A = this chain, B = another copy of it.
Amino acid sequence: MVPKEWNIKDAYVKNSKGERIIDFQKSNLHVVGYSVPVHKKVSLSELREHLHTLPDHPEWIPYRTSYYNENWGFCLSYKKFKTLEEDTYEVYIDSSLEDGNLTYGECFLKGETSEEVLLSCHACHPSLCNDNVSGLTLVALLVKYLSTLQLRYSYRILIIPGTTGSITWLAMNETNVSRVSHGLVVTCVGDPGTSTYKRSRIGDAEIDKAVEHVLRHSGESYNVVDFSPYGYDERQYCSPGFNMPVGCLSRTPHGQYPEYHTSADNLDFVQPQYLVDSLSKYLAVLYVLENNKKYLNLNPKCEPQLGKRGLYEKIGGDNEGKIRQLAILWVLNLSDGNNTLLDISDRSGLQFDLIKDAADKLLEHRLLKESLE
């Protein structure tokens, strides 16, 4: 199932003067991924059959692979391609395809329960920034922060080659899959585009509701799209035999920005402010998951007297006080054991944090208790 391990030391195309006109040492994008080894002299016309360019973006080098087809090739800018003259070229790819190992990173943060949140990102696209490194960066920052907290859930972070990595992990962890209560595929999180959430195959799992709540209250435009069996590793997590509650929270989705899979997916395209914005949305989602419990109103028949408990704020008063008061009334009204705090947030239209704060105050005054069933 897993293809052979591909390694490469060097590759170039030299002209008859011996000049490296395409040089793997300058950019690893220059070689088609998974190219078989080759060393021979070819005419310009034979060479051209193995060259890939982007005429619409003449400065950019495309990123190409050929996993399932034994072949070799080079990628270069169209501008460079236009300068190639009739000549005898030496092509050289010092690669190997051998039985090897599939290496991936796995990090586990132990929380209070054995229920897990899965965060999965891919590390298989050489030199690509948004469609690879942005995800790694975000999960690294998340892990650093989460490891300072007391957590309800355990967190499992996977840094894997796309497709083969998730298939391998799932094959080796089949029995543990049921521990994953919520999951996100982390990718394309550093570009200037709109936040986009792709729902899990389940469609209305808690992770779906949590992400949609956060985006709805973000004050920014956003997109939510239904699950489809094409994209990143959610394809595997959401295959029918697993059907895990795993969505994908990104900015511009794969293939929808021109820099996608080209040398222009670089540090000009990915910017810190977008990465930080994505991080803050991931943190907000995890805050919801960590705190999304059900409570029971201990005084369910009529409203308790809030005034004598210092919980009364005049609704006619300032707007913040009014909203705090409404949050308290909503939590009391809907805490019948059937509604999570997220359900209450969504029905009331109030942001999760406000509902959580109201629940905390009511817990403190023994007007609420956690519902454990």
Binding site for B on A (CB under 8 A): 1, 67-68, 163, 166-167, 170-171, 174, 201, 228-230, 235-236, 238-243, 255, 297, 300-303, 305, 307-308, 312, 315-316, 326, 329-330, 332-336, 348
Contacts and interface: CB of A to CB of B under 8 A. Distances in A.
A230 B315 contact: yes
Nearest to A304: B1
Nearest to A315: B230
A301 B235 contact: no
B333 A242 contact: no
Closest 6 interchain pairs by CB?
A: A241-B300, A68-B307, A241-B301, A229-B333, A229-B329, A240-B336
Contacts of A238: 333
A333 B1 contact: no
20 contacts: A67-B307, A68-B307, A68-B308, A170-B302, A171-B302, A229-B330, A229-B332, A235-B329, A235-B333, A236-B303, A239-B302, A239-B332, A239-B333, A240-B335, A241-B300, A241-B301, A241-B302, A242-B301, A243-B336, A255-B316
A326 B67 contact: no
B67 A303 contact: no
Contacts of A230: 315, 326, 329
A276 B171 CA distance: 53
Contacts of A67: 307
Given A68-B308, A230-B326, A348-B228, A333 B303 contact: no
Contacts of A312: 68
A236 B300 CA distance: 10
Contacts of A166: 302
Contacts of A333: 201, 229, 235, 238-240
A327 to B, nearest CB: 10
A336 B68 CA distance: 28
Nearest to A299: B241
A62 to B, nearest CB: 11
Contacts of A335: 240
B236 A302 contact: yes
A146 B163 CA distance: 46
Nearest to A301: B241
Nearest to A163: B303
A106 to B, nearest CB: 17
A1 B238 CA distance: 54
A347 to B, nearest CB: 8
Given A230-B329, A236-B303, 5 more contacts: A167-B303, A228-B326, A239-B333, A240-B335, A242-B302
A148 to B, nearest CB: 35
Nearest to A166: B302
A48 B332 CA distance: 38
A167 B306 CA distance: 14
Contacts of A68: 305, 307-308, 312
Nearest to A1: B305
